[in-house]
Chain A
Amino acid sequence: MRRFTKAALLCACMTSIAQSVFADEAGPVRIGYSMSLTGIFAQAAPSQVNAYTLWAEEVNAAGGLDVAGEKRPVEFISYDDQSNPANAVRIYERLITEDKVDLLAAPWSTPIHLALAPVLSRYQFPMVGNTAASVQLREVAPGYIWFPTAVIPDKLGVELAKLMKSEEITSAAIMANVSPLSQEIKTYLIPALEAEGITVTMSENYPPDIRDMTTLISQANAGSPDALIALSYPADTFLFTGQAKELGVKAPFVLALVGPTIDAYQKAMGTAADNVVTVGHWSPKQEAWPKAKIFFDAYSARYGEAPDALDSALAYMSLEILEQAVAVAGLDREALRAEIATATFDTINGPVKFEGVENTVTPTSFLQIQDGSLELIWPQAIRTSEFRPKTAW
């Protein structure tokens, strides 16, 4: 009998220990995503992955993710989609059906976001997008995907024309990469400029593999425009800036589309980068968003370089939204979907609220590099500095 009592006590102890261990180890909330680690989008991946990693480290350091009142650590499960939307679709199906992740984080690029939307609807799995920018996003059936970006080409065209008008720009030359985003923006920008009474002196396209812009910039210079708009991508943004400096562009308003928010741009261009305008809606200088500076400092300390004001900020925002939604709704997908669709979230980019798939709070904005910092110069409601004309390279 004594032997039986001992065995029973031992059993009870073991069960109790196992339960407590199990309670701790049931913990990790598994978040899946695919990333373009190789292929044509690979260059952009680190700015997004870094933001994800930083977020996870911060959450775990704070005791874990608040899952409707219960703190649990987070861990990522990720795969390389090789910059291929079809691969990304297969990966997210695997994450949902085989890996059985608890949550999903977004991949990189507009085409991959668009390819994933039907998958998310089919599996009724909510995901907050981030680095997608196209008017096509509005054609995505609302329900399980949301886009916090404020870089939507039609609004961007109108707001850029307003900004230029406010700075008394009367003429503009446009050179556009043939990539979809540049072309979409150009489509909406030209009528918007004309509506504001701004004359378009030149509108030329160029291929993404262009290696010399002497002709384009010389043609633009010949019209003596007040503004030179390069709807460029990072590789050609570097080329454009270097050659605009070489050819002595005189336009006081110079915009480059994608690239100036990358840390390497200012390092490579030096003073030539000063007063270049670009697209973006986040800046650590905006004091009304107290989390912005904290994120900037943490990212800079962790990675030894500034975060990309577009991709890194959007990636971090998307996980902030997910974090706040999970704190209220837990991991139940329908509850989570309802929470993301209806709540207002406090992010490094200020408040975010969705209507349909679109973030309707964050305004379409523009940044300008001023003395090595990215300042918001438009719209006036959130600007951190006034526009400065580009008078020197």
Chain B
Amino acid sequence: MAAQLFFAALCSGALYALVALGLNLVYGTLRLLNIAHGDLAMIGAYVAFVAFSTFGLAPPVSMVLAAGLCAAMGWALYAGIFRRLFATPETAQRLEANSLILFYGVSVILQNVMALGFTSTARGYSYMGEVWRIGPVMASGNRLLMLGTALAICLGVLLVLRFHAFGWSLRAVIERREAAGIVGVNVDRVQGITIALGFAIAGVAGVLVSMTEQITPFMGFPLTIAAFVVIVLGGLGNIFAGIVAGFVLGFVETFGIALTSATYRSILIYGLFVTVLLLRPQGLFGKAIQVR
């Protein structure tokens, strides 16, 4: 049972890390609290559902489609609204202060547009549901696909941050936006690409979730909450710590339930959240392992 629990924790953690990664990238570079993040995952889930049910396209193809669609939405939002507001410190400050309300509006619009288009009836499709035995662990194909994809994306983003020039620019913008601009980083380009990337990751996460859960216009909110808990645990804007915190949350949730009871789930998650906020408001891992 321990190995099965470890696999379950790994799956939960990888999903939390992936969902939080997109949110953290957007917050880190633009200082915007995207409360519609889970709704972008919902969009990704519907892309997968329509692609599979109508066109017979498998979720791996949908991941590309969902990533493209969500990235385009992110870019459009940036080019249409945010770029102009980031042009002066005053409007940028006002935008950052009001981002929660702004994205709440985006969230409501996305939910209602999808409810109008697809109704709020639950949707679902079956993909890679067969069960595989890997040593002592039983794993369904779709959960393995989810785990592999989430790990690959998290690792890919970390590698880009560590070794690619764009990653260095992104880290510079996260650390000090104004200073990055002074030393020649194209802040506008970094911000635009990062919001597109953050939205795209949310879309892919939605495709992954759609393989195992029901799809509704209102499925995004729990994902948003989970992502917020994770990035606060890791430290706002701290990409590597956010990914680690996603796995910490997955393990605390799974093994915490195993050691206590499923009814303690919320107490375990939010207890950890509040404890970290009280004892280490800078996040579980502080600045010691912050990506620099």
Task: Report which A residues bind B (CB closer than 8 A).
Answer: 37-38, 42-43, 45-47, 175, 178, 204-207, 209-216, 218, 234-235, 238-239, 242, 245-248, 262-265, 267-272, 305, 393
Contact = CB atoms under 8 A, between A and B. Distances in A.
Given A43-B122, A215-B5, A209 B212 contact: no
B265 A218 contact: no
B5 A238 contact: no
Contact of B120 (A37, A247, A262): A37
Interface residues on B, range: 35 or more
Interface in B101-129: 111-112, 115, 119-126, 129
B257 interface: yes
Contacts of B88: none
Interface core residue of B129, B138, B253 (most chain A CB under 10 Å)? B129
A315 to B, nearest CB: 13
A208 B196 CA distance: 32
Contact of B212 (A37, A46, A239): A239
B5 A206 contact: no
A299 to B, nearest CB: 12
A212 B124 contact: no
B24 interface: no
Nearest to A242: B212
B8 A212 contact: yes
A221 to B, nearest CB: 9
17 contacts: A46-B119, A46-B120, A178-B263, A204-B261, A207-B265, A209-B266, A210-B262, A214-B4, A214-B5, A214-B254, A215-B8, A238-B124, A245-B131, A247-B138, A248-B138, A268-B126, A393-B131
* Residue of B140, B217, B266 with highest tally of chain A CB at under 10 A: B140
A11 B64 CA distance: 72
B131 A269 contact: no
A119 to B, nearest CB: 26
B186 interface: no
B212 A238 contact: yes
Contact of B8 (A38, A214, A245, A271): A214
A279 B119 CA distance: 24
A212 B214 contact: no
B138 to A, nearest CB: 5
B121 A43 contact: yes
Q: Closest 3 interchain pairs by CB?
A: A268-B124, A206-B262, A270-B126
Contacts of B129: 242, 245, 269-272
Interface in B1-17: 1, 4-5, 7-8, 11-12
Interface of B: 1, 4-5, 7-8, 11-12, 53, 111-112, 115, 119-126, 129, 131, 138-140, 143, 212-218, 222, 253-254, 257-258, 261-263, 265-266
A8 to B, nearest CB: 55
Given A214-B4, A215-B257, 12 more contacts: A42-B217, A45-B120, A205-B261, A209-B266, A214-B7, A214-B254, A238-B124, A238-B214, A246-B140, A267-B125, A268-B126, A270-B129
B262 A207 contact: yes
A60 to B, nearest CB: 22
Query: Is chain A's binding surface mostly helix, strand, loop or mixed?
Result: helix
A237 B218 CA distance: 17
Contact of B213 (A37, A47, A207, A239): A239
Contacts of B112: 38
Nearest to B138: A246
Given A43-B216, A209-B222, A265-B124, A216 B262 contact: yes
Contacts of B119: 46
Contacts of B143: 246
B254 A212 contact: yes
A45 B122 CA distance: 10
Nearest to B266: A207
Pick the most buried of B4, B139, B217, B253: most chain A CB atoms within 10 A of its CB: B4
A234 B112 CA distance: 21
Nearest to A221: B1
Contacts of A248: 131, 138
Nearest to A175: B262
Contacts of B131: 245-246, 248, 393
B6 to A, nearest CB: 10
Contacts of A264: 121-124, 214-215
B100 to A, nearest CB: 20
A267 B213 CA distance: 12
Given A239-B212, A267-B126, A268-B214, A211 B262 contact: no
Contacts of B217: 42
